Amino acid sequence: MNMTALTTISKPTSFIDKGPRPLARVLVWELRRFCASRLFWFQALGFFGFLLLMTWALRAPEQTDIHMSNEGGSESLSGFVAGTSAGGLLHTLPIILVVLVLFLPFVAIDGVTRDLNRRTHELLMTTALPTWAYAWGRYLAGLIISLGLAILLLLSILGMGWLLHLTVTNYPAPEFGTVLILWTGMVLSAVILVCNFGFALSTLLPRLSTLVKVVIMVAWILGGVVIPLGLGGAIPLPGMSIGTRRAG
C-alpha cells in the first residue's frame, strides 16, 4: 500500500507595520494611560491651582516709594511692578519654572525606565513593535504631557493677570504678545531641554533614573533661584508696566 502525504507549507503571516503607524500606536497607548489615571487629573488640577496661587502671590514683586517736596508741601508717589507685565515676569517666571521642573522628571523621563522596572519590556520585545517606535513614542508622549503643563502655566498667568486687572486699581492688563514671547523663550525652551536631557539620560542609565531626577531638580533650583539671588536678582528693564498710587 502506497500512502501519499500531502503537506501544505504556508508562510507565517507577520504583521509588521511600516511607516509612522507603530509610532502613532505607542503614542496613543501612552496618552491613554495618562488620561485613564484619575490621580493624573487630580495632580494636573492641583498644579494649575498652585500656579494661580503663585501668580497671585507674586502679583507685585517690586514696589517703590518716591517722596517729592514742593512749595505747597510734600507729595508721596508709590508704584509697583505688575507681576504679569514684562518686567514682572522676568522676576517671577524663574521661580514658577522651578515648580514646573519639579513635576517634569516624574512625567517625561520615565517612559522606558518604567517598563524596565516592571519587567514589561521583555513582553514588548517579543512583539513586532520596532524599537525606534517604542522609544520615540514614549518620549513624545512625555513631551506632550509636559507641554500641557507649560500651557497651564501660560493660562494661569493670563487668567490671574486679567482677574487682577479687573479687581485691583491701576493694575495693568497682561499683554498677550509679550507674555507669549517670554513664555516661549523661557518656559517652552526649558520644558524641551529638561525633557530631552532627562529622557536621554534615564533611558541610557535606567538603574540611575532616580539620581537623574535629583540632579535635574537640584541643578535647576541652583540655576533658577540660588545663583540669581546671590547675584542680586534680575535687573528691571525699561518700559515695564508700572501701576502708580498717589498719596496726599
Is 50 exceeded by the pLDDT of residue 5? no
Is 90 exceeded by the pLDDT of residue 21? no
Is 60 exceeded by the pLDDT of residue 13? no
More confident residue, 67 or 90: 90
The C-alpha cell that represents 161 in the structure block:
493677570
**What whole-number distance in Å separates Cα of residue 54 and Cα of residue 93?**
10
Question: What mean pLDDT, rounded, does the chain reach?
Answer: 76
Is this prediction's pTM over 0.85?
A: no
Most confident of 61-65, 82-86, 91-95, 137-141: 137-141
Using DSSP bridges, classify how beta strands 242-247 and 73-81 pair: parallel, antiparallel or unpaired: antiparallel
What phi and psi, each to the nearest 5 degrees, are found at residue 205?
Answer: -125, 70
CB 106 within 8 A of CB 47: no
- CA-closest candidate to residue 154, choices 117, 131, 182: 182
Is 50 exceeded by the pLDDT of residue 8? no
Which of the four pLDDT bands, split at 50, 70 and 90, describes residue 45?
Answer: very high
Compute the average pLDDT of residues 35-42.
87
- CA-closest candidate to residue 224, choices 196, 195, 194: 194
Q: E strand or H helix at 204, and its extent?
A: helix 189-204
Q: Which amino acid is at 242?
A: I
Q: Report CA dihedral (94, 97, 99, 105) to the nearest 10 degrees.
A: -140
pLDDT recorded at residue 237: 40
Q: How many Cβ atoms from other residues are within 10 Å of residue 104's Cβ?
A: 25
C-alpha pair distances (Å), 38 with each of 45, 136, 189: 11, 25, 29
Is 60 exceeded by the pLDDT of residue 11? no
Tell me the pLDDT tens digit for each residue of 87-144.
788 888 888 888 888 888 888 887 777 777 666 666 666 667 787 888 888 889 889 9
- CA-closest candidate to residue 156, choices 43, 82, 48, 81: 48
